[in-house]
Structure 1
Amino acid sequence: MTTDHDFTNPNILPTGTPQGQSAMQNPNPAHTEQATDTQNRYSENVGETTHFGYQTVNAHDKQAKVAQVFTSVATKYDIMNDLMSFGIHRLWKRFAIKMSGVHRGQHVLDIAGGTGDLAKVFSREVGKSGRVILSDINEAMLEVGRTRLINAGCNNVDFVLANAETLTPFDDNSFDLVTISFGLRNVTDKQKALEAMYRVLKPGGRLLVLEFSKPVFEPLSKAYDLYSFTALPLMGKIVANDADSYQYLAESIRMHPDQTTLKAMMEQAGFINCDYHNLTGGIVAVHRGFKKR
């Protein structure tokens, strides 16, 4: 059985080579122009309408629709994560924690932190002199995380309802580390959220985005699609009595920007030295960027 301690055992961490790492000197003009064009096309999708899975909805309505999904699945969220990923999500989170570089005394903001998987580990790593804030826009998810972490004795964690697009409860230059794990794809205006994350980071601080992405091998992509659109809704119906929410989750993954597009969005928000690691053939990617000192 995997424990939270296993999340930070360096002997069992997956290894990988960062891809798409920024060269801050003499960037390739053609690549920069292509990335900007890709981002501009993506930004045009956030106007009066946006996507909710494969549906086109009023942009102002998406937040409420996403909230309904996660309110519905909150109590079954952890068990469904284990079932859907065959437990591999623990390895993905372990890798993200390795990349976080978190240490004693730091201040960490875990956005869309839900049931508190990462926040629980960060709580231990920053120690009594550090502070962790578990934030989520969904009250039901935040309450599950709050109960779980309080029961675990995490007394250096605060719980804050916050919209990732603004992060208005938090001051500029407040955090050494900001993370968002499997939450960015549900944000209506992702570019605005990345800019808010940049704002609240201290100079030299680090952003980590752990999110579903685009498989890099075509056979894997086809098999993944088949699994996502057949098995996930079926498991959602059986375990959580909610097939529709898991149908949306599958669709939201397909609508999320690919690895290079998200990296370009981070750079547009001001982050430097951006790179990403593909995990499980690109099914998931960890993006990393830093705020200028």
Structure 2
Amino acid sequence: MSDTVSFGYQEVAPDEKTRRVGQVFSNVASRYDLMNDAMSGGLHRLWKDLFVRRVKPRMGEHILDMAGGTGDIAFRMAPSGAAITVADINPQMLEVGMERAAKRGIDGLVWTEANAETLQFPDRFFDAYTIAFGIRNVTDIPKALREAHRVLRRGGRFFVLEFSTTVWPGFGQAYDAYSHHLVPRLGKLLANDEDSYRYLIESIRRFPDMPKFEGMIRDAGFAQTKVEPLLGGLVAIHSGWKI
């Protein structure tokens, strides 16, 4: 890992990025759904539905939903009967998720504070690992990918849902204009927090493109890796297997 990492368009020390990202999500935890709606025009709900269909959670499986604090992915997987652990580095996000689960009457989820880079779970423990719109905020992404590989059993499935770079001509420029100019303004209007929303947009632009990130997943030890672009790659579902 280099001496500095990206925090949006800035280069900062790794510990500083971890601290700043934590502050961003503490700030936006109570308005997380609004944030996702602002960044995706509401499409994140459809993307998450598709993502869970790709994961295919099953009764009796143990699944780790990393960076899943507010419960969006876990709630969609819960009807399958899988044993789901919701992990997040941010306690405020977990509090929001637990409150939402109680209101929806969803029981049986395990909620735990965890850092994706240094998971407290034993080797070969989970059947599947999911992370939706969280990997780009991790300070040391290769280390987090290696940890995901470590905690999966042989035959385990790894799934990432993340913003990426669209290859549709003209669409990327239009989305850039929308996201850079409108989303921070919406953040100020909806949550009185323009800076956090600006960081989240900048973090998308700094995230590796689809081929590069797929290569990072392979480098962590996963096989049969695959990328499914959505909206030409504005968002992508990445997957791999531990064999």
Query: Any runs of at least 4 consecutive aligned residues in structure 1 with deviations exceeding 4 A, and if so which?
Result: none
1:50 — aligned with what? 5
Task: Quote the residue 2:96 is aligned against.
Answer: 144
Task: Give 1:146 shift.
Answer: 1.2
Letter paired with 2:149: Y
2:18 is aligned with 1:63: yes
One of 108, 118, 121 as aligned partner of 1:156: 108
Output the TM-score relative to the length of structure 1. Answer: 0.81
Residue 70 (structure 1) shift: 0.5
Please give the alpha-carbon distance, in whole angstroms, between the structure 2 residues aligned to 1:154 and 1:213.
32
Letter in 2 for 1:144: V
Q: Which residue of 1 aligns with 2:145?
A: 194
TM-score, L = length of structure 2: 0.97
Taking the aligned partners of 2:9 and 2:169, their CA distance within structure 1 comes to: 21
Q: Are 1:208 and 2:162 matched, yes or no?
A: no
Q: Deviations over 1:75-97 (max 9, x none)?
A: 01112222332221111111111
Q: What RMSD in Å do the two structures reach over aligned CA positions?
A: 1.0
Residue of structure 1 equivalent to 2:79: 124
Distance 2:141 2:16 in 1: 16
Seq. identity, %: 48
| Cα deviation 1:50-95 (Å, max 9, x = unaligned) | 1100011111211010000000011011122223322211111111
Pairwise CA distance, 1:152 = 2.1
Match of 1:260 in 2: 211
Q: Which residue of 2 aligns with 1:94?
A: 49
Describe the SS at the equivalent of 2:170.
helix
Question: Distance in 2 between the 1:163 and 1:246 partners?
Answer: 22
Q: Secondary structure at the match of 1:51?
A: strand
What residue in structure 2 maps to residue 172 of structure 1?
A: 123
Residue aligned with 2:157, SS: strand
Query: Quick one: distance in 2 between partners of 1:154 and 1:171?
Result: 26
CA distance in 1, matches of 2:50, 2:177: 26
Q: What is the count of residue pairs matched by the alignment?
A: 243
Matched residue, 1:234: 185
Aligned partner of residue 108 in structure 1, secondary structure: strand
CA displacement 1:186-211 (0-9 Å, x = unmatched): 00110000000000111101000000
Aligned counterparts of 1:218 and 1:142: Cα–Cα separation in 2: 39
- For structure 2, the residue ranges without an aligned partner over 5 or more in a row are none
Residues 70-109 of structure 1: matches in 2 within 5 Å? Answer: 70-109=25-64
| Cα distance, 1:218 vs structure 2 | 3.3
How far is 1:217 from its partner?
1.9
**Distance across 1 between alignment mates of 2:100 and 2:121:** 23
Paired residue secondary structure (1:48): coil
Q: Which amino acid aligns with 1:108?
A: I
Q: Distance in 2 between matches of 1:191 and 1:274?
A: 15
State the Cα deviation string for residues 209-229 of structure 1 (Å, max 9, x = none): 000001112311111110111
- For residues 97 and 229 of structure 2, the distance between their equivalents in structure 1, rounded to whole angstroms, comes to 27
Contact kept, 8 Å, 1:108 with 1:122, in 2: the verdict is no
Q: Which residue identity lines up with residue 159 of structure 1 in the other structure?
A: W
Structure-2 separation of matches of 1:57 and 1:207: 29
> 1:120-167, CA deviations, whole angstroms, 9 ceiling, x for partnerless residues?
121221x2xx31111100111111011111332222211110000111
Residue aligned with 1:180, SS: strand
Structure 1: segments with no counterpart, 5+ residues: 1-45
